[in-house]
Amino acid sequence: MASILIVDDDIGIRLTLQEVLISAGYETVAFITAEEALKYLQQYDPDLVLLDLNLPGMHGFNFLEIIQQMDNPPPVVIITSSTDAPSAVKAMKLGALDYITKPFNLDEILLIVKRIIANRSKDEQLAYLRKKNQHPDYDRIIGNSSAMQAVFKFIKQVAQTPKTTVLIRGETGTGKELVARAIHFQSERGNKPFIDINCSAFQETLLEAELFGYEPGAFTDAKRRKKGLLELAHEGTFFLDEIGDMAIGLQAKILKVIEKQTFRRLGGIQEIHVDTRIISATSRNLEEGIYHRTFREDLFYRLNVASIILPPLRDREGDVLLLADHFLNVYNNEFKKNIRGFTPEVKRLLMTHHWPGNVRELRNAIEKAVLFETGDFITPAHFKLTSFEPERNILSHPTSFVIPPEGIAIMDVEKALLENALLATHGNQTKAAQLLKISRETLKYRLRKFRINYHEIKARPVE
């Protein structure tokens, strides 16, 4: 809800303005003097100031000058008598946006106020985008595989239902954020803001303050009112990245926002209405979070209305070379180079690599190769892939291993783990056992049990 500060020493005017503005849905606060209004401005950030010039104490002109020196000055509209045109002109020179003359026409006031406030919220959203260094355009999603066709179809479908909550799952680097943006920009909310926040990047109280905003005095450092990101996402899309990392206490509050479409700033009493589509993403296994009581089951069902698991790159047949060409183009342009393609050896590497970091890993590898390659083609000398990164999802973050909806045989997982560990260590059993944190004897026993031939694995070409 937008807030308007009124400064006028005439009680009749203050009351009339407040009445008409409040009934039009604005929040108002009124003062008699500029001195009082300044004190208020040190703590709050109104969306508009309506200012009378002839005030007891500090004159409106001086007040206007002080406002203009503030960091993010609110727009000011002057209230002036119809006989005092020169003052209005001077006030505009000092930075006032507009003026209204007494006696007022209430419709005219509302029109001016509405127009200025609409621009102001656009400015705030733009400032946010600039700060985040985001381009309002979204990147193209590349992919021809049937796995990706299903993703495109999903995007198209949910784009058409702009209120549906969406959950995007998938390993790191599979394009979750890209898909979230695509849904937003293809929906009717596309020309409204896309606001994102990474839940794993903030500790609980900070994340809460970012999401909901706060009133002055809500906590020690809260000197001024700050709007929450949720407010900025009004009519647009709110992307909660890494939702699996959100503290359980905050989960209850987000649940309430989804259910009631309202929230309160920290330290605030007023319910703020927000109409936004929530898209969340996670590379963690939320079901496991529910089991361990680190993730609320009721929130899970609320988020999971429409959901998709993005396929890992290794399961997108044909897409690796397509993406490789795409990124070659991108980085040729960026580095002003003219590399024409990949040597057959590099193509083989591209097609056999396991891509634990998915599209991001591919993009980074090609960026580096383009930067350092001096010839016409990308050669193995400059195309470096880490021969193995332990399956992050399984080995180093057991809780983020995603169980597919159709279920999975635990024996198959164990067998895959053993094989991967041997692959990673080129068949070295001692090292493989260390990776799996079991003894060499246990490893040997299990290799026999699963009839895994480590000589064969040892002989496989190194990726």
Q: Point out which residues bind ligand ATP (CB under 6 A).
A: 139, 141-143, 170, 172-178, 283, 323, 359-360, 363
Instruction: Annotate 231-274 with DSSP letters as a single string.
Output: HHTTTSEEEEETGGGS-HHHHHHHHHHHHHSEE--BT--S-EE-
The tokens 């303005």 sit on which residue? 17
First to last CA, the chain: 57
DSSP H or E segment with residue 30: strand 27-31
Q: Which of residues 154-183 bind Mg ion (CB under 5 A)?
A: 176-177
**What does the alpha-carbon distance between residue 297 and residue 295 come to, in Å, rounded to a whole number?**
6
Judged by beta carbon, residue 162 or residue 357, the one nearer ligand ATP is 357
> Three-state DSSP class for 294?
coil
Is the distance from CB of 286 to CB of 300 less than 8 angstroms? yes
Query: What is the enclosing helix (H) or strand (E) of 123?
Result: helix 106-131
Beta-sheet strands, E only, within 84-199: 98-102, 166-169, 194-198
DSSP label at residue 159: H
Tokens 């699963």 locate to: 450
Residue 193 or 357: the one with the smaller Cβ distance to ligand ATP is: 357
Minimum CB–partner distance for residue 194 and ligand ATP (Å): 13
Decide the pairing of beta strands 306-309 and 341-342: unpaired
From the CB of 138, what's the least distance to Mg ion, in Å? Answer: 14
Number of residues engaging Mg ion in binding (CB under 5 A): 2
Which residue's beta carbon is nearest to the bound Mg ion? Answer: 177
Peptide bond into 103 cis (omega under 30): yes
Q: From the list ligand ATP, Mg ion, none, pick the one residue 213 interacts with, judged by a Cβ distance below 5 to 8 Å according to partner type.
A: none
88 makes contact, choosing from Mg ion, ligand ATP, none, with CB < 5 to 8 Å by partner type, with none
* Residue (75 or 175) nearer to ligand ATP, CB: 175
334's CB contacts (< 8 A; 6+ apart) are none
Q: Which of 176/192 has CB closer to Mg ion?
A: 176
Q: Which is nearer to ligand ATP, 117 or 330 (CB)?
A: 330
Calculate the CA 59 to chain-centre distance. 44
Q: State which residue, 250 or 359, has the beta carbon closest to ligand ATP.
A: 359
- Per-residue binder mask for Mg ion (CB under 5 A), 259-298, x = binder: ----------------------------------------
What single-letter DSSP state applies at residue 460? S
Residue 360 contact, options Mg ion, ligand ATP, none, Cβ 5-8 Å cut-off depending on partner type = ligand ATP
Least separation in angstroms between CB 432 and ligand ATP: 27
**Closest distance of CB 7 from Mg ion, Å:** 46
Closest CA to 231 of 212, 252, 247, 259: 212
* Smallest separation, CB 66 to Mg ion (Å): 43
**Contact partners, residue 126, CB within 8 Å, separation at least 6:** none
Measured from the CB atom, the residue of 199 and 266 that comes closer to ligand ATP is: 199
CB 278 within 8 A of CB 303: yes
Q: How far is the CB of 62 from ligand ATP (least distance, A)?
A: 50
> Which CB sits closer to ligand ATP, 74 or 143?
143
Closest to 426 measured CA to CA, from 395, 387, 397, 386: 387
Q: Go through the chain and tell me how many residues it has.
A: 463
Q: How far is the CB of 140 from Mg ion (least distance, A)?
A: 17
For the bound state, the minimum distance from the C-beta of residue 241 to Mg ion, rounded and expressed in Å, comes to 5
Contact flag: residue 141 with Mg ion (CB under 5 A): no
Residue (139 or 275) nearer to ligand ATP, CB = 139
Instruction: Work out how close the CB of 360 gets to ligand ATP at its nearest, in angstroms, rounded to a whole number.
Output: 4
Distance in Å, CB of 158 to Mg ion, minimum: 18
What is the spatial distance between Cα 375 and Cα 379, in angstroms, rounded to a whole number?
A: 8
**Ranges assigned E (strand) in 68-177:** 76-81, 98-102, 166-169
Cβ closest to ligand ATP, residue 43 vs residue 157: 157
Q: How far is the CB of 282 from ligand ATP (least distance, A)?
A: 8
Residue 255 near which of Mg ion, ligand ATP, none (CB within 5-8 Å, type-dependent): none
**Is 87 in a helix, a strand, or coil?**
helix
Hey, how many other C-beta atoms are within 10 angstroms of the C-beta on 235? Answer: 15
Closer by beta carbon to ligand ATP, 175 or else 213: 175
Q: Which among Mg ion, ligand ATP, none contacts residue 51 (Cβ within 5 to 8 A by kind)? A: none
Rounded to an integer, what distance in angstroms lies between the CA atom of residue 257 and that of residue 416?
42
Tokens linked to 72: 């993010």
Position with the least CB separation from ligand ATP: 175
Footprint of Mg ion (CB under 5 A): 176-177
